[in-house]
Each structure stands twice: as structure tokens, then as C-alpha cells.
Amino acid sequence: SQTIHQWPATLVQPVGSPLSLECTVEGTSNPNLYWYRQAAGRGLQLLFYSVGIGQISSEVPQNLSASRPQDRQFILSSKKLLLSDSGFYLCAWSLSYGYTFGSGTRLTVV
């Protein structure tokens, strides 16, 4: 069966510090992978999309970047966090219709 792991669950980071959130998928090959963010009072915003190793598409200009070093690994990074980067970050995978989400990371930038 397919599973998706996302960590850490919560993270408190100072402004200006780096960020690395990791997501791994098991039980499937060559999935489409996504990073979403849910900011307070807002819906789910698509940040990055990947169809394969090293292939990253960004939906919105921002302080974040993503990488896919392996087929089932998706990493969200930042060199210097901003206060506005606070939110709930979700990794998801899909093969066609319907998405399976990870459990999310609550990031608080202080």
C-alpha cells in the first residue's frame, strides 16, 4: 500500500534561519509530488509541483525552494526564513485524480 511520510510535525525557527522539510513516499513509483501551504484563515495554496527527479515547477514566487533528489523524496527548503513563511505545510502525491496528503508540518517563524 502507498504511504507518505512527512517530518517534522512541528517546527519553530527564528527569522533568518534555514529550513528543510522532508517528504517521502512508499509503495508507488514516479508519482507526482506537491508541496502545499495552508496559512491562517486561508485555503490550501500550491507551492511546488514535481513530475520526476530534478523536475520542479513553482506556482508562486516566494522565499522557498524545492528539490527532488530521488523519485520518492521531495524536500522544501529556505535559506533565510521570513515571518510570513509561517504556516502549515503539506506534502502530497498523486498519480492521476485524487491526492494523498502527508500529516503536515506546523512551521512557526519567530
Which residues would be at the binding site for another protein (CB under 8 A)?
Answer: 6, 9-10, 32, 34, 36, 41-44, 46, 49, 51, 57, 59, 88, 90, 92, 94-104, 106
Cβ proximity to another protein: between 34 and 85 the closer is 34
In the complex, least distance from residue 103 CB atom to another protein, rounded to whole angstroms: 5
CB of 28 to another protein, least distance (A): 14
Whether 104 and 89 have beta carbons less than 8 Å apart is answered as: yes
Q: Which of 58, 65 has the CB closer to another protein?
A: 58
Residue 2 or 18: the one with the smaller Cβ distance to another protein is 2
Q: How far is the CB of 52 from another protein (least distance, A)?
A: 13
Q: Which is nearer to another protein, 26 or 59 (CB)?
A: 59
Q: What nine digits make up the cell of 52?
A: 520526476
Contact 104, 22 (CB under 8 A): no
